[in-house]
Structure 1
Amino acid sequence: MNKSIKVVDTILRDAAQSLIATRMTTKEMEGALDLIDSAGYYAVECWGGATFDTCMRYLNEDPWERLRTFRKGLKNTKTQMLLRGQNVLGYKNYPDDFVELFVAKSIENGIDIIRIFDALNDTRNLETAMKATKKYGGHAQAAICYTTGPVFTLDYFTKLTKEMEELGADSICIKDMAGLLTPDRSFKLVQAMRKVTDLPIEVHSHTTAGTASMSLLKGVEAGADIIDTALSPLGGGTSHPATETMHISLSEMGYDTGLDLEVLQKLAEYFAPIRDKYVNEGVLNIKMLQVEPKALVYQVPGGMLSNLLSQLTQQGRPDLYEPVLKEVPNVRADLGYPPLVTPMSQMVGTQATMNVLMGERYKLVPKEVKDYVKGLYGQPPAPISDEIRTKMIGNAEVMTDRPADHLDPILPKLREETAGLARTDEDVLSYGSFPEVAKDFLQNKYA
């Protein structure tokens, strides 16, 4: 009997985020929903991550309305979102009451699977979101942020797997945001996890360094149940392995993906002109489609590579791209090897840029980085040396318990602040996530 492998397509969220800065409109996506729904996918990752902010900030769209559109169009396919644990969809820790309502409303408006991660793999920051997902009837997928460094051994990852299972995870995802998984690492990691859990294991990797399709295949051979792919128009580069390619490869190896190749080809035809439009508008930078083996050396996610390049170009210093890239792993080591995923990738990238621009390391330290060193984001994977800590925050106290335990409930205050502006709980949550952006958006929406 063929072993079945489930496929999650990311074209509506992570693929679009990785290659075209999440600028695809709901209208452009809506036209493909019927086809997507008949393709045979296990799920479609379509919400969360940066989409929420981008909808309001750049597209003048209501992210909740987008989600309801997906729910209407995807009758046979599960919808999936990415949630940053206690950070929800923002860049800081939110109080538990906010996290719970956000999860409740996400499920109510149409989400089936919530992939929950913490940028530091601190499982204390997953607890509230996971409990809420289970409480409101969603599938709670806990995600391990995969990265490399002296502390990230197979023992480290299997311990995390067990902690996540104890928290009530329905499945576990290896989230390789930087494309650092090589085929060998993928095989050994899935094999090690398979020994300690019977939960479904999903492998998610970006093709930044050119290894992802091989890593997914080796993960499947080692016992993974689900893989993440992206339809070919937005596959490859800093995105994910192309869905059609993975389907053909796996089918020939005797695996049943459940996908219909004819439908996938029609979908590729649908999305190709949309992709070309973003190429013509200059949104899709050719650099994002190039294979970048440096990612394996610098351990930098594709989205971070593109952000660094565009920020330095805006400052008129694209010449500093290489020096900043070289400084990133040094800063990361100093900060206790945080995985480079939002918000840590932004912090490490900004700090590395400042170090290079200033010509002196840690002469200027952003507030977020100081907060991180103070323990406000959770526990770093490895200890930060006394020397670095003192240089950054002097003798300030370092928090060692769960950061959200220090946060008071925020919903009453948010409801008060949005009186006359917000008409629904969803509006309140939009405002709580991105106050300035949501204020403008809601004023226009109800004008």
Structure 2
Amino acid sequence: VEEFVAKSWETGVDVFRIFDSLNWMPNMEKSIEAVRKRTDGIAEVAMCYTGDIQDSSRTKYTLQYYKQFARDIENSGAHILCIKDMSGLLKPMAAYELISELKQTINIPIHLHTHDTSSLQAATYLKAIEAGVDVVDCCIGAMSGLTSQPNLNAVVEMMRFQERENSYNIEVLNQHSTYWEAVREYYYPFESGMKSSSAEVFYHEIPGGQYSNLKPQAESLGLGDKIEEIKKSYREVNEIFGDIVKVTPSSKVVGDMALFMVSSNLTKEDILTKGENISFPESVVSLFKGDIGQPVGGFEPKLQKLILKDVKPYTERPNEHLTPINFDKELEAFKEKFDPSVTFTDLLSYLLYPKVFEEFYAKRKEYGDVWHIPTLNFFYGLKDDEEVLIDIDRGKSIMVRLLTCSEPDEEGKRKVFMRLNGQTRIIEVQDRSRKVAVKENLKIEKSNNKQVGAPLQGKLSQVLIKQGEEVKRNQPLFVIEAMKMETTVAANDSGKIKDIILSPGSMVKTDDLVLVME
């Protein structure tokens, strides 16, 4: 993390927003220290807002809690305090009260960040500005609102002729908005599916960024028609977990658990009464082990034991368990593993996110620098006889014209005829739109406790045991992976592996039979 901060400063980052998804100060101290000692940048330290300070029935995240946390942040060496309201829960009158009190509590500037899921947040900004907030986060008009931030263009107009007006050129902002409106149309398949604002966010408290990912994640698990159940389950999981702060990555854990419960038809009561025989998602186990940090008030001991089973948790800072890195040796080994062209920044990416970097590297090796392709053509391809100019480097371009495509063969492959800089080329590609026969796997018999099945839809990424192997209770058997969520399935009882039905890489659905025990 320290090297990442130093390298980020070197490559142009000047403001570092530092936050912890559980508002746990020990997790932020090293980053704050790194910014102050190894850069001349600004350490903007965030406190994540959740709950409702004006709701007297919610006693965990009170005004006094936020005031004390703000003092701790200022004392840690922060240059700016950020209020990070990822779900858009901070209501206008609560914002006025919170900012007013914080202005009397600390002496550093206050920066407010929120998401506009309910469409209430422009009013929240107005009251925060009245209370003296120093900075608010906005988004250009065409990209604003809903799970994004409040509309910059509208906020500029809202403050026109007021005491704290900023002299933005609204005509220029509107021109930028028109441009981004056109760009956004290219990305419509990745929209959250949310057509209008919803005050439901005050019920389920799903952060804006996570809400955007919820639909595709649910669809990957075969739960695209159960979004409402998932939102309800999200609230239930938050209650089970003890009303934790929900910001990446803690919000993802709550989301993983909600998806897992809906996929496995589990209720809140099932978790509490049958948890000892349930294999929970890896992210849930990691949270309760202490890998992310410690929540306000700690974990509920009985639930923690239920989820961790034989795994021992810890309460100290997670990174204290890491071995110090020799970057010279690591870079040398890194170049040997990949290729000599990889850089130190690539190494940092790999150390922080090894699996993600490996996938990125493999795709880049296979397809090259695809970001040179115009967005429209990248997502939607070319029509017959359409031509596109691709700038691949300064002063270096290629002209691609699609001539035609053959009909798919028996394997679903098409020949693509094109001209590359005037020269005819033919390549063969798999037509993924072709319907193929779907192989159905065997299902477990619910009454047979010797059969072990998949708890959710996804890919069988790892089988951790061998046929004939003796296994103990709670020993990991296999891993199911589904769009950023991994679940390790463990043995409910000791026994011997009689038969392994499916191999790694197999696509599975809920209750597909994976292995049989004696």
Task: Select 1:295's aligned residue among 183, 197, 201.
Answer: 201
Match of 1:314 in 2: 220
Greater mean alpha carbon deviation, residues 224-233 or residues 416-425: 416-425
CA distance in 1, matches of 2:316, 2:220: 39
Query: Normalising by the residue count of structure 2, what TM-score does the alignment of the two structures yield?
Result: 0.63
Preserved CA contact (<8 Å) 1:288 1:302? no
CA distance in 2, matches of 1:385, 1:188: 31
Preserved CA contact (<8 Å) 1:338 1:380? yes
Displacement, 1:440? 5.3
Is 2:233 the counterpart of 1:330?
A: no
**CA displacement 1:245-269 (0-9 Å, x = unmatched):** 0011012332222422232122112
User: Residues 302 and 289 from structure 1, CA distance in 2 versus in 1: closer, same or farther, beyond 3 angstroms?
Assistant: farther
CA distance in 2, matches of 1:371, 1:165: 30
CA distance in 1, matches of 2:301, 2:122: 41
Match of 2:8 in 1: 106
Match of 2:108 in 1: 199
Match of 2:247 in 1: 341
Greater mean alpha carbon deviation, residues 251-260 or residues 425-434: 251-260
Match of 1:305 in 2: 211
Structure 1 counterpart of 2:354, which letter? P
Match of 2:496 in 1: none
CA distance in 2, matches of 1:269, 1:179: 26
Preserved CA contact (<8 Å) 2:256 2:283? no
Structure 2: runs of 5 or more not aligned: 52-57, 369-518
CA distance in 1, matches of 2:64, 2:279: 36
Displacement, 1:302? 2.4
SS in 2 for 1:325: helix
Task: Select 2:17's aligned residue among 115, 133, 141.
Answer: 115
CA distance in 2, matches of 1:271, 1:308: 24
SS in 2 for 1:252: coil
Displacement, 1:152? 0.6
Q: Which has the larger radius of gyration?
A: 2
**CA displacement 1:58-80 (0-9 Å, x = unmatched):** xxxxxxxxxxxxxxxxxxxxxxx
SS in 1 for 2:225: helix
Task: Select 1:176's aligned residue among 85, 108, 112.
Answer: 85
Preserved CA contact (<8 Å) 1:337 1:380? no
Preserved CA contact (<8 Å) 1:238 1:289? no
Preserved CA contact (<8 Å) 1:112 1:138? yes
Match of 2:264 in 1: 358
Displacement, 1:416? 4.3
Match of 1:405 in 2: 320
**CA displacement 1:394-422 (0-9 Å, x = unmatched):** 35433122221221123546424412435
**Residues 114-153 of structure 1 correspond to what in structure 2 (within 5 A)?**
114-135=16-37, 136-148=39-51, 150-153=59-62
Preserved CA contact (<8 Å) 1:332 1:338? yes
Greater mean alpha carbon deviation, residues 241-250 or residues 147-156: 147-156
**Residues 18-417 of structure 1 correspond to what in structure 2 (within 5 A)?**
99-135=1-37, 136-148=39-51, 150-279=59-188, 282-285=189-192, 287-360=193-266, 361=271, 362=275, 363-394=278-309, 396-412=311-327, 414-417=330-333
Task: Select 1:428's aligned residue among 347, 350, 355.
Answer: 347
Displacement, 1:328? 1.3
User: Residues 288 and 112 from structure 1, CA distance in 2 versus in 1: closer, same or farther, beyond 3 angstroms?
Assistant: farther
Structure 1: runs of 5 or more not aligned: 1-98
CA distance in 2, matches of 1:398, 1:442: 34
Structure 2 counterpart of 1:404, which letter? N
Query: Normalising by the residue count of structure 1, what TM-score does the alignment of the two structures yield?
Result: 0.73
SS in 2 for 1:141: strand
SS in 2 for 1:208: coil
CA distance in 2, matches of 1:418, 1:409: 16
**CA displacement 1:232-257 (0-9 Å, x = unmatched):** 01011110111110011012332222
Preserved CA contact (<8 Å) 2:223 2:263? no
Is 2:335 the counterpart of 1:419?
A: yes
Preserved CA contact (<8 Å) 2:205 2:235? yes
CA distance in 2, matches of 1:283, 1:348: 22
Q: What is the number of equivalent residue pairs in this alignment?
A: 346
**CA displacement 1:205-257 (0-9 Å, x = unmatched):** 10001211111111111110000000001011110111110011012332222
Structure 2 counterpart of 1:415, which letter? L
Structure having the higher helix fraction is: 1
SS in 1 for 2:335: coil
Structure having the higher strand fraction is: 2
Preserved CA contact (<8 Å) 2:191 2:212? no
Displacement, 1:324? 1.8
Displacement, 1:353? 1.6
User: Residues 438 and 392 from structure 1, CA distance in 2 versus in 1: closer, same or farther, beyond 3 angstroms?
Assistant: closer
Displacement, 1:441? 4.2
User: Residues 414 and 217 from structure 1, CA distance in 2 versus in 1: closer, same or farther, beyond 3 angstroms?
Assistant: farther
Is 2:357 the counterpart of 1:438?
A: yes
The CA RMSD over aligned residues, in Å, is 2.1
SS in 1 for 2:136: strand
Structure 1 counterpart of 2:6, which letter? A
CA distance in 2, matches of 1:173, 1:289: 29
Structure 2 counterpart of 1:332, which letter? N
CA distance in 2, matches of 1:325, 1:134: 41
CA distance in 2, matches of 1:355, 1:416: 44
SS in 2 for 1:319: coil
